[in-house]
Amino acid sequence: MLYLAEVQKQRSGFGLGGGKAELKLLACQRGEHNWAAVPGDDAIPVEEANKFNDGTLVLVELSSNKQVQRIQEAARQLVSILQNFSRLQDKFKDKEEEIEQWKASLTFSSQELNRREMEMQAREEQLAQMEDELERLEAQRSEIENTRDEANRLRDEVDRSRTEMEMAWEQLRGEQQQVAAQQSQAPQGAVVDEQQAIRIQELMNKLGGAISAAQGVREQLNQSFGVVGSQQAILDLHWQQLEQKRANAQQQQEEVDRQNQSLQSRWQEWYQSQDALAQARAELKGNQCTLSAKQEQAQSMSLQVKSVENMYQQISGLASGSGAGATEQLVDVSALEKMPVDELQGLVQHLQQDLEKVFRFVNDQEEELTLQQETIEELQAKIQAASEYDRMALENEMADELESYQMLNETLVGQRLRLQERESVLKQHQGVLWRRLGTANPQKTEPGDIDLGPIVAQLNTQRQQQSQNLQRLETEIQQVQEAISQIEGNVNRQNRENEAKRNELKQLQQNLFNQKGAVAELWGRVNVYQEMLQPVQDNLSGLRQKLEAVGGELDRVQETGQQQDSLVSDLRQALSSFLPGA
């Protein structure tokens, strides 16, 4: 099982290397991204932890019986974990923003749904009104149909009356011809017999009844004309309302067309401002890439400055003898003089082994630092030649490598000092041992034997030059940052303005869409209204034409009837002398 632990060392009274190393377990891995704290302050003695400094965080894999299977420094893994945690935080933040957007979208959808529901209710009310109008028109149509049936009945009755009059007239003419024949054959002063007189009287009465029936048809026809006129007055009112609705629809249509043209012009202006914003963003992106490259260069240069500074401090300390003096304070030489020679030899051997372990570890770290430096240089070359799309991924990888490099370099500073310190302690133990054994020290060299002055001066010159270059680069970075800040301000301001305009235009577009729907609905009502009125008007016009035709026919019948009535009167006078009892 994998644990996060802290190296704890207990120092002996004879130097830095005589203590025992223990691991204090801090956390245990429960899953890929799940860690749980280890309760208690128990520590496990581990021999492999001697190569790490006191307080170093390590990752150690333990078996079920707490035996160490693998141990390594946790710096890079912790950096990776923190980076993953940071990325997860960013993802969670993006998800929260996406959730807020969904909430806003749902709120807008709910409001839109409520508005649509209100519109549906209003349309249902309008549909109910149209259904009522349709019912009234259907009632009028039924009444017109009834009137048409009545007109057809009147026409049939007029035709029947005319037929009866013609038949009666033909019979009367026949009787008249018979009477005239009888008169020509009969002697002077003869009269018509009683049977012929009754027959002639019936024919004249029948002819007079037909004329009277035609007068009754005229009254019914006038009533039908009155009904048609009242129906036409109602239809004229509906036609006026239709014309008003058509004029209203035309006016609203013109207003919608005007607003649509204005909205298209404003959208065109917005697209032009978006193009300008895109150019500004491209300029901002270019400056940000320049800033990123300069910052990466500054980070790399800062690491180099720190490395030279640390080397300068170390070599300066060696040149001034401060390092040896500090080490001498950590070694109790008097205790070493009193220690048995065998025990002192064992202690020196243990210090040599410990120094070799630390030396190998530091050497491995140095090689890894060199490899990371080469990786950083390769990434810098790739970034310079990469496309805009690949640059972002390479910059993120570059940032991770720089963080790892900086952390490893800071760790190595302490490790180098610790290595020098242990080497000095070993030399002092060896010096005491060789002195007590009476042998010479062939490896001992005094700090004064090596002239470190030129190296210190060269490092100082290099440090100052790199510091100046770093300062000049930081000035350039500050200038680019100020330019980016100004461009960002303009871009953000323009983006807010464009977003506000976009929301306004979308709202206007939605309103225009609603107005178009209302106008289309109004035109639909006008067309439906006209489709309902036109058949009724056609039927009513056809009925009027039929009634007028019946009226014309009835006029002719009445005119003929009047002539026949005059003839009947003359016939009555002419036949009065022939009728019995005249």
Residue 550 lies in a domain: yes
Mean pLDDT, rounded, for 526-543: 82
pLDDT of residue 325: 43
Specify whether 164 is located in the same domain as 66. Answer: no
Residue 434 lies in a domain: no
Angle at which helices 453-576 and 75-185 cross, to 10°: 10
Q: Does residue 452 have a pLDDT over 60?
A: no
Burial degree of 203 (CB within 10 A; 0-12, 13-18, 19+): buried
The DSSP secondary-structure symbol of 38 reads P
Q: Measuring CA to CA, which residue among 425, 323, 422 is closest to residue 51?
A: 422
Q: How far apart are CA 118 and CA 445, in angstroms?
A: 98
Q: Does residue 264 have a pLDDT over 80?
A: yes
Residue 535 lies in a domain: yes
| Per-residue confidence band for 118, with pLDDT thresholds at 50, 70 and 90 | confident
Sign of CA dihedral 130, 132, 136, 139: positive
Specify whether 235 is located in the same domain as 153. Answer: yes
Q: How far apart are CA 310 and CA 414, in angstroms?
A: 10
DSSP secondary structure letters along 227-248: HHHHHHHHHHHHHHHHHHHHHH
Specify whether 40 is located in the same domain as 157. Answer: no
Specify whether 69 is located in the same domain as 130. Answer: no
Q: For 555-564, how does the pLDDT look when each residue is reduced to its tens digit (9 = 90+)?
A: 776 676 666 6
DSSP secondary structure letters along 363-382: HHHHHHHHHHHHHHHHHHHH
Last residue of a domain, one of 10, 44, 73: 73
What is the DSSP pairing of strand 43-45 with strand 68-73? unpaired
Q: For 130-146, how does the pLDDT look when each residue is reduced to its tens digit (9 = 90+)?
A: 777 777 777 767 776 77
Residue 11 lies in a domain: yes
pLDDT of residue 446: 40
Structure-block tokens of residue 470:
């770093």
Residue 553 lies in a domain: yes
Helix, strand or coil, per DSSP, at residue 25? strand
Specify whether 148 is located in the same domain as 44. Answer: no
Specify whether 164 is located in the same domain as 60. Answer: no
The DSSP secondary-structure symbol of 331 reads S
Percent of the chain with pLDDT over 70: 75
Last residue of a domain, one of 28, 47, 73: 73
Residue 78 lies in a domain: no
Angle at which helices 75-185 and 388-437 cross, to 10°: 160
Q: How far apart are CA 513 and CA 260, in angstroms?
A: 9
Helix, strand or coil, per DSSP, at residue 539? helix
For the chain, how many structural domains are there in total? Answer: 2
- Rg over CA atoms, the chain: 60
Specify whether 159 is located in the same domain as 225. Answer: yes
Q: Taking a C-beta distance cutoff of 8 angstroms, is the pair 459, 308 a contact?
A: yes
DSSP secondary structure letters along 418-479: HHHHHHHHHHHHHHHHHHHHT---TT---GGGS--HHHHHHHHHHHHHHHHHHHHHHHHHHH
Specify whether 68 is located in the same domain as 135. Answer: no
pLDDT of residue 35: 80
Mean pLDDT, rounded, for 287-297: 82
Judge if pTM exceeds 0.75. no
Q: Which residue would you say has higher pLDDT here, 203 or 450?
A: 203
pLDDT of residue 265: 92
Structure-block tokens of residue 579:
């009728």
Angle at which helices 388-437 and 341-385 cross, to 10°: 160
pLDDT of residue 334: 81
pLDDT of residue 272: 92
Specify whether 48 is located in the same domain as 147. Answer: no
Specify whether 138 is located in the same domain as 212. Answer: yes
Q: For 304-353, how does the pLDDT look when each residue is reduced to its tens digit (9 = 90+)?
A: 777 777 767 766 665 554 444 444 445 777 888 888 888 888 888 888 88
Mean pLDDT, rounded, for 405-433: 78
* Cβ neighbour number for residue 197 with a 10 Å cutoff: 18
Angle at which helices 194-320 and 453-576 cross, to 10°: 180
Q: For 173-208, how does the pLDDT look when each residue is reduced to its tens digit (9 = 90+)?
A: 666 676 566 656 655 444 455 566 566 666 666 655
Residue 542 lies in a domain: yes
Best-predicted range by mean pLDDT among 87-96, 326-335, 507-516? 507-516
Average model confidence (pLDDT) across the chain = 76
pLDDT of residue 427: 85
Specify whether 251 is located in the same domain as 188. Answer: yes
Dihedral angle, C-alpha 430, 432, 436, 438, nearest 10 °? 60
Burial degree of 379 (CB within 10 A; 0-12, 13-18, 19+): buried
Domain harbouring 138, CATH code: 1.20.1050
Q: Taking a C-beta distance cutoff of 8 angstroms, is the pair 147, 227 a contact?
A: yes
Residue 34 lies in a domain: yes
Q: Which domain holds residue 244?
A: 126-257+523-576
pLDDT of residue 268: 92
Specify whether 144 is located in the same domain as 248. Answer: yes
